[in-house]
A and B are shown apart, each in its own frame.
Chain A
Amino acid sequence: MLKITAYADRISCFPGETVDIKVSATGLRAYDAELRRIIQGDINPDGPGYRDELIAVDLGGPFAAREQTIRTGSYGLVDKTARLCPSGSFTLAALIWPTLPGRGRQAIISTGTVQNGCSVFLDDNAMASATLTDNGRATTAASGTPCRERAWYVVVASYDTQSGRLAVSQTPVKSFPNVDDLGSSSVPARGHAAPPQAPFLFGAVDTEEGFPGCFFNGKIENPRIYDGVHPHETIAEAMLGRTATPAPAADWDFAAGMRGDRFSDRGPHRLHGRFFNLPHRAVSGCGWNSGLHRWTEDPASYAAVHFHDDDLYDAGWQTDFTMTLPPDLKSGVYAVRLFSHEDAQAEYFVVLAVRARHGRNDVVFVLPTASYMAYANHRLGIDVSETEIGAGQLLQLDRHHLHLQEHPEYGLSLYEVHNDGSGVFYSSRLRPILDFQPKVQGFIGGSGSNIWQFNADTHILGFLEDRGIAYDVLTDEDLDREGVAAFDGYRAVLTGSHPEYTSTRMLDAYQGFLAKGGRVAYLGGNGFYWRIAYSETLPGVIECRRAESGIRGWEPGNGNYWHQFTDELGGLWRRIGRAPQQVFGVGMTAQGFDLSSPYLRNTSSHDPRAAFIFDGIEGDILGDFGLNGGGAAGNEIDRADFSLGTPPHALVLASSRLHTDIYLMTPEDLLDPTPTWSGTQCDMIRADMVFFETQNGGAVFSTGSIAWAGAMAWNGFDNHIATITENVIRRFAEKTAFG
Chain B
Amino acid sequence: MARYTLGDDDLPHAAEFMESPIGYHSPGLQRVLNLMRGGALDGKYVLVTIEPCRRWALARLPGRRGAPVSIVSGVEYTSQLDAERDVFRRRWHELTGKELPF
Q: Which residues of A contact B (CB under 8 A)?
A: 43-46, 379, 381-386, 388-389, 392-399, 402, 405-408, 419, 441, 447-450, 594-595, 660-661, 680
Q: Does B61 sit within 8 A of A, measured CB to CB?
A: yes
Cross-interface CB contact of A46 among B30, B34, B53, cutoff 8 Å? B53
Interface segment, one of B7-15, B21-29, B92-100: B21-29
Chain A residues with CB below 8 A from B22, complex form: 392-393, 447, 594-595
Cross-interface CB contact of A389 among B33, B47, B59, B61, cutoff 8 Å? B33
Least Cβ distance of B62 to chain A in Å? 8
Least Cβ distance of A714 to chain B in Å? 14
Chain A residues with CB below 8 A from B65, complex form: 379, 383, 405, 408, 419
Asked if A385 and B45 make an inter-chain contact with CB atoms under 8 angstroms apart, the answer reads no
Q: Does B44 sit within 8 A of A, measured CB to CB?
A: yes
Q: Bits for B70-90, please: 1 = Cβ < 8 Å to A, else 0.
A: 000000000010011001000
Q: Does B5 sit within 8 A of A, measured CB to CB?
A: no
Asked if A382 and B61 make an inter-chain contact with CB atoms under 8 angstroms apart, the answer reads yes
Q: Bits for B37-62, please: 1 = Cβ < 8 Å to A, else 0.
A: 11111001111110011101001011
Q: Does B66 sit within 8 A of A, measured CB to CB?
A: yes
Chain A residues with CB below 8 A from B25, complex form: 660-661
Least Cβ distance of A112 to chain B in Å? 31
Least Cβ distance of B31 to chain A in Å? 10
Asked if B49 and A395 make an inter-chain contact with CB atoms under 8 angstroms apart, the answer reads no
Least Cβ distance of A524 to chain B in Å? 22
> What 9 A-B pairs have minimum CB-CB distances, sorted nearest first?
A408-B65, A388-B37, A398-B49, A389-B37, A396-B47, A44-B53, A385-B41, A395-B46, A394-B47
Chain B residues with CB below 8 A from A449, complex form: 53
Interface of B is mostly: loop
Chain A residues with CB below 8 A from B41, complex form: 382-385
Known contacts: A393-B80, A397-B47. The answer to whether A405 contacts B68 by CB under 8 A is yes
Cross-interface CB contact of B56 among A46, A396, A399, A595, cutoff 8 Å? A396
Chain A residues with CB below 8 A from B46, complex form: 381-382, 394-397
Give the docked Cα–Cα distance between A152 and B37 (Å): 39
Cross-interface CB contact of B52 among A386, A398, A405, A594, cutoff 8 Å? A398
Q: Which A residue sits closest to B54, measured CB to CB?
A: A45
Known contacts: A389-B37, A394-B83, A394-B84. The answer to whether A406 contacts B68 by CB under 8 A is yes
Least Cβ distance of B53 to chain A in Å? 5
Known contacts: A396-B46, A402-B48, A661-B25. The answer to whether A386 contacts B38 by CB under 8 A is yes
A–B Cβ pairs within 8 angstroms, 13 of them: A46-B53, A383-B41, A385-B41, A389-B33, A393-B84, A394-B47, A396-B47, A397-B48, A402-B68, A406-B67, A408-B66, A450-B53, A661-B24
Q: Does B18 sit within 8 A of A, measured CB to CB?
A: no
Give the docked Cα–Cα distance between A660 and B27 (Å): 11
Least Cβ distance of A682 to chain B in Å? 14
Least Cβ distance of B65 to chain A in Å? 4
Give the docked Cα–Cα distance between A39 and B23 (Å): 31
Asked if B37 and A405 make an inter-chain contact with CB atoms under 8 angstroms apart, the answer reads no
Q: Which B residue sits closest to A659, measured CB to CB?
A: B24
Asked if A385 and B40 make an inter-chain contact with CB atoms under 8 angstroms apart, the answer reads yes
Asked if B69 and A394 make an inter-chain contact with CB atoms under 8 angstroms apart, the answer reads no
Give the docked Cα–Cα distance between A509 and B68 (Å): 44
Chain B residues with CB below 8 A from A448, complex form: 53
Known contacts: A408-B66, A661-B27. The answer to whether A385 contacts B47 by CB under 8 A is no
Asked if A397 and B23 make an inter-chain contact with CB atoms under 8 angstroms apart, the answer reads no
Least Cβ distance of A664 to chain B in Å? 11
Least Cβ distance of A451 to chain B in Å? 10
Chain B residues with CB below 8 A from A386, complex form: 37-38
Interface centre among A405, A419, A441 (most CB of B within 10 A): A405
Asked if A45 and B53 make an inter-chain contact with CB atoms under 8 angstroms apart, the answer reads yes
Give the docked Cα–Cα distance between A398 and B48 (Å): 6
Give the docked Cα–Cα distance between A399 and B59 (Å): 13
Cross-interface CB contact of A441 among B24, B37, B52, cutoff 8 Å? B52
Give the docked Cα–Cα distance between A383 and B67 (Å): 12
Least Cβ distance of A75 to chain B in Å? 20
Give the docked Cα–Cα distance between A396 and B54 (Å): 12
Give the docked Cα–Cα distance between A533 and B63 (Å): 32
Give the docked Cα–Cα distance between A419 and B39 (Å): 19
Q: Which B residue sits closest to A595, measured CB to CB?
A: B23
Chain A residues with CB below 8 A from B30, complex form: 661
Q: Which B residue sits closest to A395, measured CB to CB?
A: B46
Give the docked Cα–Cα distance between A46 and B54 (Å): 10
Give the docked Cα–Cα distance between A1 and B62 (Å): 17
Give the docked Cα–Cα distance between A661 and B32 (Å): 13
Least Cβ distance of A520 to chain B in Å? 33
Give the docked Cα–Cα distance between A6 and B35 (Å): 40
Interface centre among A386, A396, A448 (most CB of B within 10 A): A396
Least Cβ distance of B33 to chain A in Å? 7
Interface centre among B48, B49, B65 (most CB of A within 10 A): B65
